[in-house]
Amino acid sequence: MRVSRTLDPMDEDFLRLDNQICFSLHAATRAFNGVYRGALKELGLTYPQYLVMLVLWEHGELPVKGIGERLRLDSGTLSPLLKRLEAAGYVERRRSAEDERSVTVRLTADGTALREKALGVPRRIAAATGLDLAELGELRERLHVLAARLDGVDPDDVAAACG
Amino acid sequence: MRVSRTLDPMDEDFLRLDNQICFSLHAATRAFNGVYRGALKELGLTYPQYLVMLVLWEHGELPVKGIGERLRLDSGTLSPLLKRLEAAGYVERRRSAEDERSVTVRLTADGTALREKALGVPRRIAAATGLDLAELGELRERLHVLAARLDGVDPDDVAAACG
DNA sequence: CGCGATTGAGTTGTGCACAACTTAATCGCG
DNA sequence: CGCGATTAAGTTGTGCACAACTCAATCGCG
């Protein structure tokens, strides 16, 4: 009963298009990472570390779980990353008093001060894209919708249909 | 002399927008990866391995360098990845006769056969995005332009302007 | 209250990305 | 031809993403 699907000549086109789309996304992300890498080197931050700092600059202080919710990252990724940010002197981690399971991450003076040096980064990145603010905003919106849609997909659905 | 730049109130807006854009791109890529992960599990492939297989299904046989050029990946990434694809029985690697520096990667019978099972994947992914072919094509084009633009940027330019 | 279920953080193991490096083969210029 | 420069692949080391797991603290229901 699934023969009609796997023999569909459209699938050939999909495979070709897929080649281009998934590669484009992959390549765009890595290109972005590369440009950020250059911009962030002087701050001593990697790109994911910069994301965490952005969140902390906005919220001041958050539990690890709160950072993870905002960046969709789990403790397996955040724990070592935060340990490195702490070693760099940009954040402090302290066990919460109310809930001993929770760890609160707070900016140090150095971490707060780093924001001043980071202010120039986004403008430079935006310039490198060659897009104006409106176009960047639209791209952001599209990617946001796409990510939300994909995050809502049941993995088993996709797996089941591709067996 | 750079005070006039770092005090520009626009930089505050850029930092906020940047927060959203770079996060959106990051999140979209990881969401895509997640959906592919589910779809590719039954094929025994990771997403980057799938990209390599797509290239090989199209070209049949390529030197490592040729794969790297098409996917913008270096030997540090490809060598171990190809070793795993070889261990899985999907490709063969053989030292080129004409140029002993080069290694030719070729599909095995299993690797070629795997394409049939992969044909159903992209359709399923496309469905998960909720976008039609035209929209996907447009997204691909935008990302392609963006990546090309960012790849062309001199890293030192960006670094210099963010000191 | 007491105990099983849940939750938050961390650890371990695998794979990818990339920088910096090594090694061996080829190229090309004098 | 000979030798320094370049090139292809591979290795090493760091950091991220994620799955699967541990452990301790908290929750919540009987």
Q: At what angle do helices A47-59 and A75-87 cross, to 10 degrees?
A: 80
Q: How confident is the model at residue A8 (pLDDT cuts 50, 70, 90)?
A: low
Please count the other Cβ atoms lying within 10 Å of the Cβ belonging to residue B6: 11
Q: Please give, rounded to a whole number of angstroms, the shortest distance from the CA of B101 to a CA of chain A.
A: 27
Tell me what pLDDT residue A133 has: 82
**DSSP collapsed to 3 states, A33-75:** HHHHHHHHHHHCCCHHHHHHHHHHHHHCEEEHHHHHHHHCCCH
Q: Which of A96-110, A117-131, B46-60 has the lowest mean pLDDT?
A: A117-131
Query: Does the CB of A103 fall within 7 Å of any strand C atom?
Result: yes
Tokens of B63: 């030197």
Q: Which residues of A15-49 are buried (b: 16+ CB within 10 A; e: fewer)?
A: bebbbbbbbbbbbbbbbbbbbbbbbbeebebbbbb
Residue with tokens 């976008």: B131
- Over residues A104-119, mean pLDDT: 96
Residues of B in contact with A135 (CB under 8 A): none
Q: A87 pLDDT exceeds 80?
A: yes
Query: Does the CB of A144 fall within 7 Å of any strand C atom?
Result: no
Residues of B in contact with A157 (CB under 8 A): 128
Tell me what pLDDT residue B3 has: 46
Out of A41, A118, A131, the one facing B159 most closely (by C-beta) is A41
Which has more confidence, A163 or A129? A129
CB contact (8 A) between residue B72 and residue A35: no
Tell me what pLDDT residue A50 has: 95
pLDDT tens digits, chain B, 163 residues: what are they? Answer: 444 444 566 666 666 666 667 788 888 888 888 899 999 998 999 999 999 999 999 998 999 999 999 999 999 999 999 999 999 999 999 999 999 999 999 999 999 999 999 988 888 888 888 888 888 888 888 888 888 888 776 655 555 454 3
Handedness of CA A159, A144, A68, A84 (dihedral sign): positive
Most A-contacting residue of B17, B22, B114 (CB-CB within 10 A), to test interface: B22
Q: How confident is the model at residue A13 (pLDDT cuts 50, 70, 90)?
A: low
Region of residue B119 (phi > 0: left; psi between -120 and 50: alpha; otherwise: beta): alpha
User: How much is the mean pLDDT over chain A?
Assistant: 85
Whole-number Å distance between alpha carbons of A123 and A85: 24
Domains annotated on chain B, with CATH = 3-130 (1.10.10.10)
- CA A60 to C1' D9 (Å) is 47
Whole-number Å distance between alpha carbons of A67 and B106: 44
Which has more confidence, B85 or A131? B85
Q: How confident is the model at residue A27 (pLDDT cuts 50, 70, 90)?
A: confident
Query: Read out DSSP for B54-81?
Result: HHHHHHSEEEHHHHHHHHT--HHHHHHH
Give the dihedral of Cα atoms A83, A85, A88, A94; nearest 10 deg: -60
Whole-number Å distance between alpha carbons of B64 and B142: 28
Query: Are A159 and B42 spatial neighbours (Cβ–Cβ below 8 Å)?
Result: yes
Tell me what pLDDT residue A5 has: 47
DSSP B152: T
Whole-number Å distance between alpha carbons of B68 and A104: 43
Tell me what pLDDT residue B92 has: 98
Nearest chain B residue (CA) to A69: B27
Closest CA to A32 of B135, B153, B51, B19: B153
Q: A138 pLDDT exceeds 50?
A: yes
